[in-house]
Structure 1
Amino acid sequence: MKEKLNLQAVLFDLDGVLIDSGADIVASVNAALTHFGYKEEPYEVIIKFVGNGAKNLLIRSLDYQGINAETMPNFSEFFDWYVAWYRSHAAEKTVLYTGIGELLEKLKKEGVFCAVVSNKPLSVTREILKHFSIDSFFDAVVGPEQLSRIKPDPEGLALAVSLIEKKRNITILPEKVLMVGDSATDIQAGRALGAHTCAVTEGFGDRKKLLAENADIVVPFAGELVTILFMPKV
């Protein structure tokens, strides 16, 4: 990114971007699997299924054991049990990535509005943001329950922008929005909105697919955006 961006809003994915939540997600999936009579799987297996929402996470975890979620008579019960369990255990080992607090403080100071657009259940996302005392930095939090289409469709991003506009009584131009995510679908959604994009390479997404999207900005961790977005003009 050569020129300095003039941003009105930054939209963040949650898992792998703001929080390192892998250990708690995997533990909760395994808790659900064992509760319903299935076997646990290693971290390295389940973490690869993260990124397209809790339902897809569970479908893939079951499929790995040869179980078809579509023919399960109690998949909805399985899903609800997982969500309830995870909500109660979502921040036991989860941590904020380094630099996130500083980044959010700087964006607030510079008058840039923030939102979270995650495929994680909305109630869980809100609980996590509150747990880490960063909920006040976000003018909008969007989850899959509010949408008919999740990322890579830009519907969630557009809703987040709309919610910020209503709250702040402003108009936000797509070209003044930055989408920050760790998966190819995050970058695709940002581009579909007409926003700038930032790829976070050390998250949970498939790194090869992520880099193939050629995001406008590429960083290992989202906290490094402080330097990139707010470096002094030379």
Structure 2
Amino acid sequence: MRDELRAIRAVAFDLDGTLVDSAPDIQRALNSSLRREGRPRFDLDRVRGWIGDGPDALIARALEAQGCSGDDVALRARLRRWFDAATLAAPLAGGTVYPGIAELLEALSRRLPLVAVTNKPTPLARAVLDAAGLLPYLQAVHGADEPALRKPAPAMVLAACARLAVEPHELLMVGDAEPDMRSAHAAGCRAVLVGWGYGHATLPAWLDPLRITAPHELRAALCAAEPIPNA
């Protein structure tokens, strides 16, 4: 892996399922919003399977599971407002930073610029990262504030490249699920799939990223690899 990462000059991390096990907080925020509308709530395992595409998709999946067509735009908007408010009120009340992640970011941030690229809207993502103590290690947070930005679209990854003044092949995308790997592929970036999180088991065979089972593996590979100097 070290030789394959020699050209890397910056790293982008997914948030939910990659840096932080935020499923308990996402469940709490979703159930809080559903309760306000008098709707049934969902258990953690069900919600965990819906994570990865941002709160609007999460809410749509919850409504679909309740037999709602999703055509009620006003209802979806209210649920999203309640969801955001619940998240901002307690960004990391039940979730946890995955073991070894803080050490990984601390080590890499001394060597390479780091960013977050997440389907969470930017204000929510920054609140979670701040509560997790990880925000100081990141130079930027790219959140899906518009539907067109959402991974697997490459827009946020390419925006990170532009912000950091690196070429796509010099940026490494690290994530736990198919949208992360697809966005990296579409942008022309290298990708690492982590062996924890929520979606790593459902990756299609044609996507063949590098893989790690623990954060220290990426730390060792990137800290040992000598980056190619700027031309």
TM-score (norm 1): 0.88
Structure 2 equivalent of residue 184 of structure 1: 178
> Where do 5+ consecutive residues of structure 2 fail to align?
227-231
CA contact (8 A) 2:194 2:200 kept: no
Which amino acid letter does the alignment assign opposite residue 219 of structure 1?
I
> Where do 5+ consecutive residues of structure 1 fail to align?
166-171
Deviation at 1:103, TM superposition (A): 1.2
Please state whether the residue corresponding to 2:208 is helix, strand or coil: coil
RMSD: 2.0
May I ask how many residue pairs the two structures share in their alignment?
225
Structure 2 equivalent of residue 219 of structure 1: 212
Deviation at 1:34, TM superposition (A): 1.4
Structure 2 equivalent of residue 62 of structure 1: 63
Q: Distance in 1 between matches of 2:116 and 2:169?
A: 18
Q: Distance in 2 between matches of 1:95 and 1:35?
A: 26
Flag the 1:211–1:97 CA change in 2: closer, same or farther, 3 A. Answer: farther
TM-score (norm 2): 0.89
Q: Which of 200, 203, 206 is the matching residue for 2:197?
A: 203
Flag the 1:16–1:74 CA change in 2: closer, same or farther, 3 A. Answer: same
Identity percentage over the alignment? 28
Deviation at 1:197, TM superposition (A): 0.4
Flag the 1:99–1:139 CA change in 2: closer, same or farther, 3 A. Answer: same
1:3-52 Cα distance to aligned partner (Å, 9 max, x none): 25222100010000011111111111111111111111111111111101
Could you tell which deviates more after superposition, 68-77 or 132-141? 68-77
Structure 1 equivalent of residue 102 of structure 2: 101
Please state whether the residue corresponding to 2:173 is helix, strand or coil: strand
Please state whether the residue corresponding to 1:117 is helix, strand or coil: strand
Flag the 1:223–1:67 CA change in 2: closer, same or farther, 3 A. Answer: farther
CA contact (8 A) 1:24 1:90 kept: yes
